[in-house]
Amino acid sequence: MANLTVEAIELTRLYGGRAAVSDVTFNLQQGQVLGFLGPNGAGKSTTMKMLTGNLAPSAGSVKICGIDMMESPKEAKALIGYLPEMRPLYKEFTVDEYLTIAARLHNVSGKHLKKAVEHAKERCGLSHMSKRLIENLSNGYQQRVGIAQAIIHNPMVVILDEPTVGLDPIQIRDIRALIKEIGQAHSVIVSTHILPEVEMVCDHVQIIDKGKLVFNGGIDVLKQQRIGNKLLVGLRQPPSAEVLKTIAGVTEVELVDSMWRIRFAEGSQPHEAIVQAAVHHNWGLYHIAPDQTSLEDVFVQLTYHESVPVAEVAQAA
């Protein structure tokens, strides 16, 4: 329990009677990277605002390393680094000036100030931009300044709201590496709607839809849902579906875009049998690979799933 860094307990936020976030409960341990997923307007940013003390929850509570955000906000906020969706940059300052201000506001003492600024710049690849005005930096560099600002005081919890928006592919890779690096010692919460990103950097995933948590678990669970027991097979002279079904272990066969999707029973390995049969009967095999449902599909399934009962209720009424 000692290394529990973030505890959100039944967080609820009402906007004029409409619940933007309702009953969100989760924990985060030290050394974990949590991916926060959800469609637009699902309540990702609202939840993050509540976690960082920018917004008071209508009900529920937030604890950072055991310190309650409502009761002692100063101590709790000192442990958080936050990059909001809109980068909070003072554009009239240079990178150095801005980061020095950020460090001072987060109680970095005078002795460590210079070192903290240098370190943050180095980690975000900003060292050669020190004397430039933030206003004159490109979008991607501004984003890096935003991230540098969030990690400057070496916080226990780093909360980044869509950190890779507007970056080029190389920068995105750097930032992902950085998130992973921070995640080893501290906790990171990242919100995004780029699904592969979640798979790459996060070891914990939460999917939120219409203010409710619809999925909360390890990334492995999500990956498992993805892979399933399916093969995608391409044949130039395909036999009829009936013939394919006779291969041991195959349970279901369907034609998708001129390829065959073959479902097999849990535990059986029909791969070899299919290849052998293809060679034997000269079916002209040119493609065989595990069929992965894309993460997008899983995402759609999960978020769609939740909306079905609502529709039913509406019909019943």
Segment interacting with another protein, rule: CB under 8 A, options 44-52, 119-127, 194-202, 263-271:
44-52
In this complex, which beta carbon is closest to another protein, that of residue 77 or of residue 121?
77
Q: CA dihedral defined by 174, 181, 202, 192, rounded to 10 degrees?
A: -50
Judged by CB under 8 A, the residue of 10, 25, 56, 168 near another protein is: 56
93 binds another protein (CB under 8 A): yes
15 contacts another protein (rule: CB under 8 A): yes
**What are the tokens at 59?**
């009900």
Which of 50, 65, 44, 36 lies closest to 157, judged by CA?
A: 65
Distance CA 205, CA 213 (A): 11
CB of 38 to another protein, least distance (A): 18
Between 75 and 181, CB nearer to another protein = 75
52 makes contact with another protein (CB under 8 A): yes
Distance CA 138, CA 145 (A): 11
In this chain, which of 42, 62, 89, 116 binds another protein, going by CB under 8 A? 89
Based on the shown chain and the rule CB under 8 A, indicate whether residue 286 belongs to the binding site for another protein: no
Beta strands in the chain (DSSP E): 4-15, 18-29, 33-37, 59-64, 67-68, 80-83, 157-161, 187-191, 204-209, 212-218, 230-235, 250-256, 259-264, 285-290
Contact between 304 and another protein by CB under 8 A: the answer reads no
**What is the contact surface with another protein in residues (CB under 8 A)?**
13, 15, 46, 49, 52-56, 73-75, 77-78, 80, 82, 84, 86-93, 97, 101-102, 104-107, 149
